[in-house]
Structure 1
Amino acid sequence: MRILIIGLGGVSRNFRNWPERTLGQALVAAGHEVMALTYWQPDQPHLGLSARVEEIDGIIVRRVRPQLWPGYETIAALETLPRPDIAHVIHPRNVLALQAVRWLRRWGIPIVWTWLGPYHDRWLVADRERPYESSVHPERLIYSFRQLIRRGLQDGNWRDHWRNYAIHRPLRDVTAFIPCSHHEAQVLRSLGFTQPMTVIPLWLDMDFMTGPSPELALNVTPPIIPYIGQLTPRKGYDLLVAAMPAVIARYPQASFVFVTHNPAQRTELQRLAEKAGVAANLHFLGTLSEEQKLALLRASAILPFPSRYEGFGLPILEGMAVGVPVISTDIPVINELIRDGEDGLLVPYNDAAALANAILRVLDDAALRTRLIAGGQRAMRERFAPQQLVAQVLATYQLAREIEGA
């Protein structure tokens, strides 16, 4: 089968576990021809999206300028690439989708979509950083040209309504959905989508995660407790800083290591740490290579992931894969990944004290730590094995082809 993946950055040498890359990698390993159409972003070299055309893990990658309209590069790339048997679109704010889906429908090519986090949608939720504290507005989404005209005539905000339409219109032309969580499937159903849905979680490049890593090039004292993610309220970096004093009171040498490729709130991070009196224990690394991140995880005592919202939560799987106990928030999607007390710990939403207590439980209790590590690695074998999950993806592709008569 010839498969086209349409993502954002997606397939990059710089990130081993981005979902477009792991999907394509597994499909290639299963004997299929895989192409990827993704964003060209030379202005952000750390993302590794500067080459217009390259091959990664057997995936033929074509990068185009991210543009909703007129999308000439997207259309030109689609005309140049071999005609796919099926297309798999990934991400809710994929600006390539408008023109790509129109082109695919013109040729009768089945389309599946992994939305990958419905509450990343700024039109759907009032606050993307704290969606579970804000209101949800499905009535704001624009799917038809008639809705677009009516909204524009009502308030004159044509530009925003056009973007709203361009982002959401392609969803109506999807043959089948592959939600990455039951929560995502539930939201899609609540929005009125009736297409077939098969819930299939994401997975990791396990050859990389279990392969060699360099020595950790970092002079810090154990226990090492990393933060891996964007410095945004949604990721809960402030909650980890608030939990630090209680942990440091018992483990004065503890090193809290912050890794991020989005340091927008670094100043606020430092301010919070100084206010809490824990700045000496905070080590800001910024962007790390995948190899150095793997070395950091393997050297860590625990992986806190205090998110306020996740479309999925790949760092949780990364922690499980390398044998680090994971602590995260008891919110939708995450509580589908973690079975509390078995392969990780869940703490209440927005509760820094509970996060600190959970960290101390794992640091203090060797038996608990051993049980969580074993449970996490069992989960990776039984629930997140790439060969098992890609077989489910392929079955959904076949269903979509049958629906379209392909």
Structure 2
Amino acid sequence: MKILFVHQNFPGQFPHLAPALVARGHQVLALTDEKNQRTSPVQVVRYRAPEPVSTDGVLGRTYSEHAQRGLMAARGARALRDRHGFTPDIIIGHTGWGETLFLREIWPDAKLLVYAELMYRTRGHDVGFDPGISPDSDEGRFMTVARSAHLIQGIVQADAALAPTRYQADSFPAGLRDRITVIHDGIDTTRVCPDPQASLTLPDGRVLRAGDEVLSYVSRSLEPYRGFHVFMRALPEVLAARPAAQVVLVGAEGVSYGAAPRDGRSWKQLMLDELGDRLDLSRVHFVGRQSYDDYLALIRLARVHCYLTYPFVLSWSLTETMAAGGYVVASDTEPVREVIRDGENGRLVPFFDVAALSAALIRGLDGDRDAPRLRQAARQTILDGYDLHRHSLPRQIEWVESFAPMR
């Protein structure tokens, strides 16, 4: 078949699927934003980046921005069709940025498969979950409804959709859920595995090794959606109880989800100002974003890994830490409960309970007698249901090829 991937940040969620389809003899091409600098596993063509959209109505801003990106992607697709004679049998795209909105008009006979990452909802998910950070309001819910328009349109147009977890699939309305197949992106458990010799050199020259008393926290950005504020508030008690502990935080200082503080500070600076001299900064290391190898070294050597999240998209860092045999203390929120069972393959604490989080982290750093069992069970969970080569990739390939046109 001829298969076209469409993703503004390709390969995005498809670094393994795209080359695997090539290996099976399909002609695979990817259409991406001209500003995307990521290395691609397959041949790439680029569409012109959309211009910034100015709208008078705030409610329509998200749809306008994503419709504009969809227009630019469609123009790129039209050039592929008219100038190069390319007509795909299957299009695989991500609905999150509107790129698939108009592709039906370019190739009406192609099967359109979409990645359905999450549907915004006004209740029961991230909106209103953390009133101390973002108070619930009618206006906020109105905005959430408006932001969902392109997601609904994208999945309605599609022949089928793929979601990585049951929680994320169930975020979509019941009438759309039967279009969604749940297959996790997959964890390469051969590469992401325990390593008793793991070590990491910090920016100040300190070398951390497996066996050291290290507490790790990983997020794309240091922000409330991933519980950064709760984690920071737990640290004074943890550091006081464990004088040898070193804390390493991976993540950028900006925001990836939600909003920055209204006073112009970053969430990192806000928390540092709040905690003041209660925090021993000689033992708290903010290392920014890391190379993948350094990140792997950290989650392998950490005695305890903390993962907190709103009811939202589940992070790869959690499943990768489990695959590395990590001892995980995580938030007792719905997406986490899909992979961690308290006392079986990790520890769960209520998201907002700072005292409970401190106690759980101290217990892990002190040498929880159940740690070996929990670490082994965490890795086994990933091997049994999330392994890239045994489960996820074969199922993804089978799913895509099930839409092959009749010859």
Shorter-chain-normalised TM-score: which range? 0.7 to 0.9
Q: Which residue of 1 aligns with 2:267?
A: 265
Greater shift after overlay, 281-290 or 81-90?
81-90
Alignment of 1:12-31 (within 5 A): 18-28=12-22
The residue that corresponds to 2:214 in the other structure is: 224
Match of 2:89 in 1: 85
Give secondary structure in 2 for the equivalent of 1:359.
Answer: helix
Q: Establish whether residue 69 from structure 1 lines up as the match of residue 57 from structure 2.
A: no
Q: Relative to 1, partners in 2 of residues 1:280 and 1:113: Cα closer, same or farther, differing over 3 Å?
A: same
SS in 2 for 1:258: strand
Which sits farther off after the overlay, 322-331 or 276-285?
A: 276-285
- 1:308 matched to 2:310? The reply is yes
On the 8 A contact 2:200/2:207 being kept in 1, the answer is no
Pair 1:322–1:101, CA change in 2 (3 A): farther
TM-score, scaled relative to structure 2: 0.76
Q: Are the equivalent residues in 1 in contact too, given 2:3–2:89 (CA < 8 A)?
A: yes
Counterpart CA distance in 1 for 2:98 and 2:186 is 24
Query: 1 or 2, which has the higher helix percentage?
Result: 1
Q: Pick from 196, 206, 209 the counterpart of residue 192 of structure 2.
A: 209
User: Aligned to 1:179, which of 158, 163, 181?
Assistant: 163
1:303–1:327 CA contact under 8 A, matched in 2: yes
The 8 Å contact of residues 98 and 167 in structure 1, kept in 2 or not, is answered as no
CA distance in structure 2 between the partners assigned to 1:170 and 1:249 by the alignment? 51
Distance in 1, Cα, partners of 2:69 & 2:317: 36
SS at structure 1 position matched to 2:222: coil
**Deviation at 1:69?**
2.2
Partner residue, 2:259: none
AA at the equivalent of 1:294: L
- Structure-1 separation of matches of 2:177 and 2:307: 33
Q: How does 1:267-306 map to 2 (within 5 A)?
A: 267-274=269-276, 276-306=278-308
CA distance in 2, matches of 1:172, 1:77: 22
State the alpha-carbon separation in 2 of the partners of residues 70 and 178 from structure 1. 21
Could you say which residue in structure 1 is the equivalent of 2:7? 7
Matched-pair contact (CA < 8 Å) for 2:201–2:207: no
Q: Is the 8 A contact 2:167 2:334 kept in 1?
A: yes
How far apart, in 2, do the equivalents of 1:71 and 1:118 lie?
18
SS at match of 2:287: strand
* CA-CA distance at 1:334 after TM superposition: 1.3
Within 2, Cα distance between the matches of 1:378 and 1:126?
Answer: 30
AA aligned opposite 2:168: E
| Residue 153 of structure 1: aligned partner | none
1:268 partner SS: helix
TM-score where L is the length of structure 1: 0.76
| Structure 1 segments of 4+ aligned residues over 6 angstroms from their partners | 135-142, 211-214
Q: Residue 361 of structure 1 aligns with which residue?
A: 363
**Counterparts of 1:80-159 in structure 2 under 5 Å?**
80=80, 82-90=86-94, 92-104=95-107, 106=108, 108-119=109-120, 124=122, 128=126, 131=129, 134=136
Q: Does residue 50 of structure 1 match 2:34?
A: no
CA spacing shift, 1:22–1:344, aligned 2, 3 Å: farther
Percentage identity across aligned positions? 22
Count of residues paired in the alignment? 361
Shift, 1:271, TM fit: 1.9
Determine the C-alpha separation between the residues in 1 that align with 2:299 and 2:144: 40
Structure 2 CA distance for aligned equivalents of residues 179 and 132 of structure 1? 25
Question: What are the Cα deviations for residues 298-324 of structure 1, in whole angstroms up to 9, with x where unaligned?
Answer: 221111011123312211111112222
In 2, the alpha carbon distance for the partners of 1:130 and 1:182 equals 22
Q: Say yes or no: does 1:170 pair with 2:154.
A: yes
Pair 88,138 (structure 1): closer, same or farther in 2 beyond 3 Å: farther
Q: For residue 338 of structure 2, give the secondary structure of its aligned residue in structure 1.
A: helix
Correspondent of 2:224 among 224, 233, 249? 233
5+ residue gaps in structure 1? 12-17, 42-48, 143-160
Unpaired segments of 5 or more residues in structure 2? 51-66, 255-265
Distance 1:331 1:110, change over 3 A: same
Between 62-71 and 247-256, the greater mean CA deviation after superposition: 62-71
One-letter code of the match for 1:116?
Answer: E
- Quick one: distance in 1 between partners of 2:124 and 2:323? 35
- Structure 1 residue 238: Cα displacement: 0.9
Partner of 1:60: 43
Shift of 1:359: 1.5
Cα displacement (A) at 1:31: 5.5
Which secondary structure state, in structure 2, belongs to the residue aligned with residue 87 of structure 1?
strand
